[in-house]
Structure 1
Amino acid sequence: MGVKGLQYFMDRCCPEACVTVNLREMARQHVAKNQQGCTITDNTTSPTLVVDGMACLRHWYSCKDWVCGGQWREYMDVLKSWWGGSMPLVFFVELQNCEEWVKRRRRVNGEVSKMFRHMKAHGEQPGKELFCLPSGLASFTPFALRSLGQEVFCSVREADYEIASYARQHGSMGILGQDSDFIIYDSALYLSVAKLRIDSLTTVMYHRQRLCQTIGLTVTQLPLLACLLGNDVVSEEQMQHIRNSAMAANRINSPVPHSGAPQGQMVLAVSHLVSSLWDREEQETGLIPQSLNLSAPQRELLKRGVRSYLLPGQEALQQDDMSALPSAFEKHFSPKILKACREKHVAAEGFMVYYYRQFVPHAYKPCRQRIYGLLLLHGHDGSSVDLPAIREWFVYSGNPLKEPDMVHPVPLGFPGDQPSLDLLWFGTSPEVSALRLTSFLSIFDCQEYKELYGAIEDSLLAALCLVTYIVLQVQTLSQEDMDAYLSQAVCLRLKSPQELQQIKLPFLSSRAVQLGSLYVRGLSHLLGANCASGCPLPSAALMPWHSFDGRLFHSKYLLAHSGTEKTVLLDSNSSCLSRFLCLREKLTETCSKRGRVLQSRPNAPEHSHKTTPGGVQNWRERGEMTGGHRHGGGWRERGEARRYPREYENGERLWERRGGMRGGHFHPPPHPNCHDGEPQNMSRPPNRSRGPSYRNRGRYQLSPRWSQPPAPGT
């Protein structure tokens, strides 16, 4: 969040503190300044930039398509070329603050409806005014950066604090980000990522000393200013009366108002108040002037806020350790596991393990319950006494987001005792390797796929598990949807980023948008399950750039639902067709054993758009084509009969009502199982009995609470 109004004030009202700099020249000066008296191996001589990775996401994701689920291979190419190795970078990513997520979720709740209305009316992606990042971008970007050889850290507390601490400790050249808290910390220079020009490597440096000269404060007084204005610790509302008093006093003392917007006037007024307090009372850093009109709880809160800006070596009082696991959970893990959890988290090598107790990003509740069971129930005696529960935030109609839901772990159902984490994570015998794979597959109820391990690519095995899980959970999923998922996974491995960019879509389907985002959200659960199981699969195989492309999936969805021949669906590639049919048969057989029989339900688009003569028909016959978005004629326009139940006619429109966007990322409506604005009974599919074997598996009943907050950053 940063300091309320301070960034605006510096950009608009304090131009002398906004200095355009050339990073190459800064690097040269940094090396020259620090080489004197330093050994050649001293880290402080390196012109390292510490980068706030979450602040960069909108600048990195410059791909044309975002609403379809992301163009991940193109995104990887962007990351490869973004910096060009001009100087060393260290990236930090963070877990999102839950309170901030709730506020943001409420604020942007209506944006998804606008996006879906646009797609329904025009059959194309909305413009930049409705842009939001694809699901999973914050979760997978750290893995992308690491795969490109970059140094990446995931924070265990507020990322801006850890960034400022690292930069100060290592004598870094600067901090590249977009958070006004970096002007408050007494650390490295604060450089704007929003104003960065990669071609010239120039940006704006926010000069701390010049700001202080303008507002009449010292550097040590900046933390109190930040807290009175409102920041991540002290909310804007909690100090409203102080700011009102400051503004009133400023109007009396300065009859001629300062030019600029109210935000700028507020910063000046509170600065004058802070300066006057220190004129009357000499205070030590970290203490609050007694003359401030504060209650005892407010004073303590303000002290905590001021101390939050004191970095290691500056602290008058030790801050609370925000990185440790709560004692309520420590007894469930050995010290070795706790240490490994934290190390994997900090190194951005794990997911959904170290912070499993917090909210998680996606709505795969049964899957997560099994992950929690694997993490927490090893060696458990089966009683419910002292059984841990996990706080999760769900987004669904009517939920005011005031309290989290408590989700309980579910055992995996091993025939004997569930293996311990110490054995799964650190065991070296061949038997342990088999246990790891069994644990991973059991989380998705895909134990039968063990025989495929080593026979197909790891990325395809993971995709097959995920699609099977989705089919079992979402009862309105059809054969055509399954074909779209599997054909996309099979064909992706043969596509270059350039070929993927050139795929032409005659129009966009809101249902395909939902299903694409649902798949991407599931990828993070694949990764979490793999980490919890001791990593039977390489993490690289679970990355979206190896298993998903939004535009490719969308094209396969439209082709599958238009009745395209399987040969065309698989790009007329015999090898792809053979692999597809094998996976399709295995998935169908596995689901059938669980009482889930897929039905054919072609889903015709609701809208009709003009296109070039024969555009849609030719597109169906040839598969995806190259080129940009193009509107295509609908089935109704061609006079084809509707080939799906009438109850599905308004399916896409009803999803639109239940959408959600979180943290600036696009997330689809709860699930495609809604009719007349209400969730359908998911215990059985339409017009069909599910059979006893599946009906008794209550833990697989998908809650209508289908959406959740994003992952770190999400």
Structure 2
Amino acid sequence: MGVRGLQGFVGSTCPHICTVVNFRELAEHHRSKHPGSTPTIVVDAMCCLRYWYTPESWICGGQWREYFSALQDFVRTFTAVGIKLVFFFDGMVEQDKRDEWVKRRLKNNREISRIFHYVKSHKEQPGRNMFFIPSGLAIFTRFALKTLGQETFCSLQEADYEVASYGLQHNCLGILGEDTDYLIYDTCPYFSISELCLDSLDTVMLCREKLCESLSLNVADLPLLACLLGNDIIPEGMFESFRYKCLSSYTSAKENFDKKGNIILAVSDHISKVLHLYQGEKKLEEILPLGPNKALFHKGMASYLLPGQKSPWFFQKLKDVIALDKEPIPINSDPESRQVPVYTDPESRQDVPMCTDPESRQDVPMCTDPECRQEVPMCTDPESRQEVPMGTDPESKKEVPICILPEIKQQLPIATDPEVKLEAPVHLNPEIKQEDPMNMDPEIKQQGTMVSDTEILKVARTHHFQAETYLVYNIMSSGEIECSNTLEDELDQALPSQAFIYRPVRQRVYSLLLEDCKDGASTCPAVKEWFVYPGNPLRHPDLVRPLPMTVPGGTPSLKMLWLNPEPEVQARRLDTLLACFNLSSSREDLQSVETPFRALCCLLIYLFVQVDTLCLEDLHAFIAQALCLQGKSTAQLINLQPDYINPRAVQLGSLLVRGLTTLVLVNSACGFPWKTSDFMPWNIFDGKLFHQKYLQSEKGYAVEALLEQNRSRLTRFHSLKSVVCKACMKENRRIVGQSHWGHTGRWGRPSSGSHRSGSGYSRSAQGQPWRDQGSGNRQYEHDQWRRY
């Protein structure tokens, strides 16, 4: 998100800081200036998801084959001109950013309601103005890029901080993203992804020095300006009265500027004409109305200081900033302080281009060093930057915590998915390495991790940073995870939210990862789940306790699953994975299924046992689309058009994709018993194809018609269906067609609820539908969602 109002200000008031540049020319200039050095662009991937997702259809669950092809084109284009790309993804949400994260998720909920209202009214996908990126896009993009051989990392703290650090320390050509915070960081140049023309490799660069020139500020003043204006750490209201005081005394307010533009000019004027007079003579808190917000303000300032940098505005050491976190902070306090270095004098960094703005995640490119700037072409029309469609992004820009950068190479642990080891080994910045939880003070370590085994924690951290796992390190380190919005209709009471359907699986994973709790799950600390589902106001996390599971032969240790290279351990890994889904009794049948359908069958069995309102027609549609997908080209999938859009099919598509992300969690927690490629969506799921099969199945099409009269598919279809139905029958779940549900229709089926429950507990018994689960501050200890 970035600095409040800076995005619009740059476009309307300071368009001259936006310059059209060409990556091919910049790369040539870099090579001539640094012989033997490969021009590298560090990419803030979360900012780019919307740009990368070019398929026309987005509502059916994702056009994954098309999306993979688009990513491939993106990588090829840069590789062809000799530019190396390094991708960073958000790895977790920092406590300081939780309020902002919640605000965006609730806003997304309102937009999702509008989407379903439109679909029900028009039976078609809304226009691009209501675009909502498919569930799991960020997660699967990581694996797609790794499959394409790209260096891909998942942040251990705020992602934009790691991006800016990497760009600075590796003398990168620039940062590609969409966040005004990259204008604030004193790092390499910042380029706008929304303005990128892939065919020509032209984009817009935002020049930090030109911005400073326009505001009569130094580069070292930008973090101060950002905090006074408000960002994701400093609430906008904290300095509101101060800003208006600056505005009232600002004599150069221009009538043709908007209100926010004038405020930015007024605050900048106050910094340059008033605060500069006292700089070095008085402490910052003596010349600013910080009051009880001093700690939060200093934290906001420190968040912009990259390794080795200092700020002329305060000279606190790292430990002092940590100590500040222990003071009571009335607004957005963070009990677990973020450890950040301090800022350098701008004059000491003449060779390094300016910095960008990590919070805004909107557009703002950047300026290169003086030599490079002489060759830069003319400015773009600021208004042209408004043409890019904007909508809410449920996955993108989840804020994150800790910085690690490439200097020291680490060996990968034993249990690694062989297909994902495509990029260079993980690199750790030696400075940041000291911030490793394993090397922290005992007090900090105890507060910050849920697992006492430092060796296992280091392995989890390495896999996390190399973007090979999903949520595993978050669970083990902080005991807090989140999942963004999913296309779910809050008015449809028949289908439970994916958050509840897959919760028992997550609970078993918790018991596996939090090994200290195995003997007594009831005494184990609850994991904090920030999962978005209809009816959840997100005021508090759901407190979810681990759920014991039964693994044949006993639950193996993480050291066995992750570090033991013996071939026989692979069978133990598979046993553990199936136990997480409570499918140990179906091991033999699932093993007989060929890839990539084995993972799909596992998910389908789990879903149909969990959700009573899934019927035979749904099963046919899921299996038929997976079989037909194998024989279709990307071009055929692009040209595919379902007759109309069905809201229930929209939910089912998203539900399956969320199941695939859950498989990523389980598979990595169990030491990779399955190849990740076996359950990547571009291999087993296509949104439009599933939608077409769903509509056909609901109309009563014969199986032969669903399979497009292909006899070889028919044999495989019956084999897969048999595996799923047989496993469900073991759980007393008979899958029937909708015609068996009586004259009341599918949604009139009498049942105790659409979601199976166990342990003597049922939502209906409490008189509460599953959609209305309270404020999200309750504890979940038992497997409430299954009837066995």
TM-score of the superposition, structure 1-length normalised? 0.82
SS in 2 for 1:485: helix
1:45-124 matches, cutoff 5 A = 45-83=37-75, 84=77, 85=79, 86=81, 87-95=83-91, 97=93, 98-124=98-124
The equivalent of 1:312 in structure 2 is 307
Amino acid at match of 2:683: H
The equivalent of 2:753 in structure 1 is 681
Amino acid at match of 1:681: G
SS in 1 for 2:11: helix
Closer, same or farther: CA 183–124 of 1 in aligned 2, 3 Å: same
TM-align CA RMSD: 2.7
**What is the rounded CA distance, in whole Å, between the counterparts of 2:743 and 2:572 in structure 1?**
47
Closer, same or farther: CA 552–458 of 1 in aligned 2, 3 Å: same
Aligned counterpart for 1:373 among listed residues 498, 511, 516: 511
The equivalent of 2:15 in structure 1 is 15
SS in 1 for 2:47: helix
Offset at residue 96 of structure 1 (A): 5.5
Offset at residue 81 of structure 1 (A): 0.8
SS in 1 for 2:688: helix
Offset at residue 704 of structure 1 (A): 4.2
Offset at residue 146 of structure 1 (A): 0.9
Closer, same or farther: CA 382–644 of 1 in aligned 2, 3 Å: closer
Aligned counterpart for 2:572 among listed residues 428, 435, 440: 435
CA contact (8 A) 1:58 1:133 kept: yes
Offset at residue 234 of structure 1 (A): 0.9
**What is the rounded CA distance, in whole Å, between the counterparts of 1:284 and 1:15 in structure 2?**
36
Amino acid at match of 2:265: L
1:327 counterpart = 2:446: yes
SS in 2 for 1:290: helix
CA offsets per residue over residues 584-610 of structure 1, 9 Å max, x none?
A: 1111111111121112116xxxxxxxx
SS in 1 for 2:196: coil
Amino acid at match of 2:299: R
CA contact (8 A) 2:461 2:473 kept: yes
Aligned counterpart for 1:414 among listed residues 551, 555, 560: 551
Amino acid at match of 1:34: H
Closer, same or farther: CA 378–648 of 1 in aligned 2, 3 Å: farther
Share of identical aligned residues, percent? 42
Amino acid at match of 1:304: K
Offset at residue 545 of structure 1 (A): 0.7
**What is the rounded CA distance, in whole Å, between the counterparts of 2:115 and 2:184 in structure 1?**
38
SS in 1 for 2:470: coil
The equivalent of 1:260 in structure 2 is 257
Greater mean deviation of Cα atoms: 49-58 or 564-573: 564-573
CA offsets per residue over residues 359-395 of structure 1, 9 Å max, x none?
A: 232511111111111111467323633x121101244
**What is the rounded CA distance, in whole Å, between the counterparts of 1:447 and 1:120 in structure 2?**
40
The equivalent of 2:276 in structure 1 is 279
Offset at residue 283 of structure 1 (A): 3.4
SS in 2 for 1:77: helix
Closer, same or farther: CA 453–708 of 1 in aligned 2, 3 Å: farther
Aligned counterpart for 1:523 among listed residues 660, 667, 688: 660
1:269 counterpart = 2:266: yes
Closer, same or farther: CA 482–290 of 1 in aligned 2, 3 Å: same
The equivalent of 1:148 in structure 2 is 148
1:483 counterpart = 2:620: yes
CA contact (8 A) 2:536 2:773 kept: no
Amino acid at match of 2:225: L
The equivalent of 2:222 in structure 1 is 222
**What is the rounded CA distance, in whole Å, between the counterparts of 2:287 and 2:463 in structure 1?**
47
**What is the rounded CA distance, in whole Å, between the counterparts of 1:183 and 1:328 in structure 2?**
34
The equivalent of 1:185 in structure 2 is 185
CA contact (8 A) 2:46 2:90 kept: yes
**What is the rounded CA distance, in whole Å, between the counterparts of 1:455 and 1:574 in structure 2?**
20
Amino acid at match of 2:56: K
Amino acid at match of 1:337: I
The equivalent of 1:401 in structure 2 is 538
Closer, same or farther: CA 499–261 of 1 in aligned 2, 3 Å: same
Offset at residue 54 of structure 1 (A): 0.8
Offset at residue 199 of structure 1 (A): 1.4
1:599-614 matches, cutoff 5 A = 599-601=736-738
**What is the rounded CA distance, in whole Å, between the counterparts of 2:529 and 2:758 in structure 1?**
26
Closer, same or farther: CA 222–648 of 1 in aligned 2, 3 Å: farther
Greater mean deviation of Cα atoms: 695-704 or 584-593: 695-704
Offset at residue 314 of structure 1 (A): 0.6
Aligned counterpart for 1:382 among listed residues 503, 520, 523: 520
1:167-246 matches, cutoff 5 A = 167-246=167-246
Closer, same or farther: CA 707–31 of 1 in aligned 2, 3 Å: farther
The equivalent of 1:299 in structure 2 is 294
Structure 1 gap ranges (5+): 603-642, 652-672, 685-693, 710-714
**What is the rounded CA distance, in whole Å, between the counterparts of 1:479 and 1:215 in structure 2?**
65
Closer, same or farther: CA 484–51 of 1 in aligned 2, 3 Å: same
SS in 2 for 1:191: strand
Closer, same or farther: CA 415–463 of 1 in aligned 2, 3 Å: closer
Aligned counterpart for 1:448 among listed residues 582, 585, 589: 585
**What is the rounded CA distance, in whole Å, between the counterparts of 1:705 and 1:78 in structure 2?**
40
Offset at residue 438 of structure 1 (A): 0.6
SS in 2 for 1:70: coil
**What is the rounded CA distance, in whole Å, between the counterparts of 1:707 and 1:95 in structure 2?**
28
Greater mean deviation of Cα atoms: 392-401 or 541-550: 392-401
**What is the rounded CA distance, in whole Å, between the counterparts of 2:775 and 2:200 in structure 1?**
40
Structure 2 gap ranges (5+): 322-337, 340-400, 403-435, 438-444, 484-497, 777-788
Closer, same or farther: CA 270–461 of 1 in aligned 2, 3 Å: same
CA contact (8 A) 1:111 1:130 kept: yes
Offset at residue 682 of structure 1 (A): 4.0
Greater mean deviation of Cα atoms: 236-245 or 215-224: 236-245
Offset at residue 30 of structure 1 (A): 1.6
Closer, same or farther: CA 706–484 of 1 in aligned 2, 3 Å: farther
The equivalent of 1:132 in structure 2 is 132
SS in 1 for 2:204: strand
The equivalent of 2:357 in structure 1 is none
Closer, same or farther: CA 504–16 of 1 in aligned 2, 3 Å: closer
The equivalent of 2:470 in structure 1 is 351
1:247 counterpart = 2:366: no
1:337 counterpart = 2:456: yes
CA contact (8 A) 1:175 1:188 kept: yes
CA contact (8 A) 1:359 1:392 kept: yes
The equivalent of 2:599 in structure 1 is 462
Offset at residue 111 of structure 1 (A): 1.7
Amino acid at match of 2:154: C
The equivalent of 2:693 in structure 1 is 556
Closer, same or farther: CA 457–352 of 1 in aligned 2, 3 Å: farther
Amino acid at match of 2:116: F
Offset at residue 82 of structure 1 (A): 1.7
CA offsets per residue over residues 203-233 of structure 1, 9 Å max, x none?
A: 1111111111111111111100000111122
Offset at residue 707 of structure 1 (A): 13
**What is the rounded CA distance, in whole Å, between the counterparts of 1:477 and 1:650 in structure 2?**
10
**What is the rounded CA distance, in whole Å, between the counterparts of 1:277 and 1:583 in structure 2?**
74
SS in 2 for 1:240: helix
Amino acid at match of 1:290: E
**What is the rounded CA distance, in whole Å, between the counterparts of 2:552 and 2:29 in structure 1?**
65
